[in-house]
């Protein structure tokens, strides 16, 4: 079977990234090699994930709990992928973005707005704290590398670097062109992947080298007394969180997975195309899972092997000083510089990928209330540009006001853990009511999805109870 369009149209050539047109139909590639040219959404997802959750929160949790909950790191990254894929399946099947889907989950208020909108609005506030913490991590690393004015931790240097970072970010992202976002994001992912390899294996040549028995002790599948909270925080913030599951839909749409499958005309040809592009999405998601899982394990190991035995837990603006000291003390000052450059890549990639992601989420969110016409491309792009300016400024001011990246990121992790339950509810509802049954997953995938739903549900309930002041475990 041949494709309707010989070459997929690029983002600048199509009428609208979010409109399904039979003229844009493309037959899906077969096999890994042919599919690789269509990868991208997963790499942007990796860029968004490997940052605050991994370098800051995961390292801090490793410092707190040691190797004991290493098994939770792997499980937390793996188990949530099924929900991510199922939500993306709905998007490819219908051509609709995530926040539009959330607004359909009953009960509806006034017959028009889902209760999920209200909860997302509340969680949105907590998540802004997390992104302010990410800005703080990048700014601190930049200031430590090059303290423009006085003390690297001093307010003047932090203010200048925050202003510089904000201005550069707005300039790079202002047009909100997917192709540019993906290409730069891919380079950043490549950079921090090299960095995480150095982090993971570099420890073996320091006095803090870990052993096979250390790693094995992390797979006892037990949670030590007093570490339940740390384990839950690990599950909530590592791997794909609620935000990443939502934003993946937008990147899949802008890459063209739904557009290439075309509008559902009920034909078997559409089913074949849709299933083919869903398989491409599977591969794309699998690659991203490998990347962010390795990064998560590497940073957790760093905290467990070096900081935990010394009783050190990164906190406040001294976070990067604490983390980099384990290399400078063992290898030399030059290694601390390398570490800071790597930290800028890791945290910067999250900062870079999150701004256009949240611009899309919030624009779509406003559309649910009739404040924006999501289907009007010109109006949608205008709001994306406005938010691309607003977010870096707001997040920068948050950091300068609070100056506690670790705490700010952990607040966002709790919010993400709570909203995961809402995302799971939406996925189940949309799968039942709107996803074409002919493109649903097989038995093995459905088993994984069931396990994922149950695990996320239990953790979300725990996170909610903890946030409300109830003590469990």
Convert the pLDDT of each residue in 370-420 to its tens digit: 999 999 999 999 999 999 999 999 999 988 887 666 666 666 666 676 788
Query: Which pLDDT does position 6 carry in this prediction?
Result: 41
Distance, in Å, from the CA atom of 407 to the CA atom of 398, rounded to the nearest integer, reads 12
Query: Which pLDDT does position 4 carry in this prediction?
Result: 44
Lowest mean pLDDT among 2-6, 69-73, 307-311: 2-6
In the CATH scheme, what is the code of domain 39-467? 1.20.1740.10
Say whether pLDDT at 88 is over 90. Answer: yes
Say whether pLDDT at 298 is over 90. Answer: no
pTM: 0.86
Tokens of 182: 């993906």
Integer angstrom CA distances of residue 355 from 10, 126, 152, 216, 309? 22, 16, 26, 38, 37
Among 41, 11, 58, residue whose Cα is nearest residue 196: 58
Among 134, 138, 148, residue whose Cα is nearest residue 342: 138
Convert the pLDDT of each residue in 229-285 to its tens digit: 666 666 666 667 788 899 999 999 999 999 999 999 999 999 999 999 999 999 999
Say whether pLDDT at 209 is over 50. Answer: yes
Q: Which residue has better confidence, 471 or 138? A: 138
Q: In the structure, what pLDDT confidence band is assigned to residue 181 with cuts at 50, 70 and 90?
A: very high
Q: For the chain, which residues make up each domain, given as ranges?
A: 39-467
Query: Please, which residues have CB within 8 angstroms of residue 210's CB and are 6 or more apart in sequence?
Result: 67, 203, 204, 301, 304, 305
In 10 A of CB 319, how many CB atoms?
Answer: 26
Query: Which pLDDT does position 323 carry in this prediction?
Result: 67
């Amino acid at each position: 079977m041949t494709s309707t369009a010989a070459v997929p149209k690029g983002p600048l050539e199509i009428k609208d990234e979010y409109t399904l047109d039979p003229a844009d139909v493309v037959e899906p590639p077969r096999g890994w090699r042919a599919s690789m040219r269509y990868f991208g959404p997963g790499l942007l997802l990796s860029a968004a994930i490997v940052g605050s959750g991994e370098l800051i929160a995961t390292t801090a949790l490793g410092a707190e709990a040691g190797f004991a909950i290493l098994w939770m790191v792997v499980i937390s990254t793996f188990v949530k992928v099924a929900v991510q894929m199922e939500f993306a399946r709905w998007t490819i099947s219908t051509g609709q973005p995530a926040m539009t889907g959330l607004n359909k989950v009953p009960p509806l208020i006034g017959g028009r707005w889902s209760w999920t909108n209200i909860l997302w609005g509340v969680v949105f506030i907590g998540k802004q704290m997390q992104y302010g913490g990410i800005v703080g991590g990048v700014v601190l690393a930049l200031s430590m590398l090059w303290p423009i004015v006085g003390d690297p931790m001093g307010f003047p240097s932090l203010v200048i670097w925050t202003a510089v970072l904000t201005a550069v970010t707005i300039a790079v992202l202002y047009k909100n062109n997917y192709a540019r976002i993906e290409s730069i994001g891919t380079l950043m992912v490549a950079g921090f992947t090299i960095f995480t390899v150095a982090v993971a294996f570099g420890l073996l040549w320091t006095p803090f080298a870990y052993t096979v028995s250390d790693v094995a002790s992390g797979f006892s599948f037990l949670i030590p007394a007093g570490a339940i909270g740390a384990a839950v925080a690990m599950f909530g913030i590592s791997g794909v969180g609620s935000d990443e599951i939502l934003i993946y839909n937008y990147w899949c749409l802008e890459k063209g997975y739904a557009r290439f499958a075309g509008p559902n005309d009920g034909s078997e040809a559409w089913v074949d195309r849709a299933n083919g592009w869903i398989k491409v999405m599977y591969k794309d998601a699998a690659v991203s899972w490998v990347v962010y899982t390795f990064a998560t394990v590497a940073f957790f190991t760093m905290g467990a092997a070096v900081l935990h035995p010394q009783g050190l837990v990164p906190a406040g603006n001294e976070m990067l000083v604490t983390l980099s000291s384990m290399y400078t003390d063992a290898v030399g000052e030059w290694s601390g510089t390398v570490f800071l450059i790597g930290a800028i890549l890791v945290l910067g990639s999250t900062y870079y990928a999150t701004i256009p992601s949240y611009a899309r989420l919030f624009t779509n969110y406003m559309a649910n209330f009739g404040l924006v016409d999501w289907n009007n491309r010109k109006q949608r792009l205008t709001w994306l540009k406005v938010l691309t300016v607003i977010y870096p400024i707001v997040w920068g001011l948050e950091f300068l006001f609070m100056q506690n990246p670790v705490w700010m990121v952990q607040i966002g992790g709790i919010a993400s853990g709570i909203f995961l339950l809402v995302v799971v509810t939406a996925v189940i509802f949309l799968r039942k009511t709107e996803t074409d049954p002919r493109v649903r997953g097989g038995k093995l995938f459905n088993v994984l999805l069931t396990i994922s739903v149950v695990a996320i549900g239990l953790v979300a309930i725990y996170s909610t109870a903890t946030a409300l002041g109830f003590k469990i475990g």
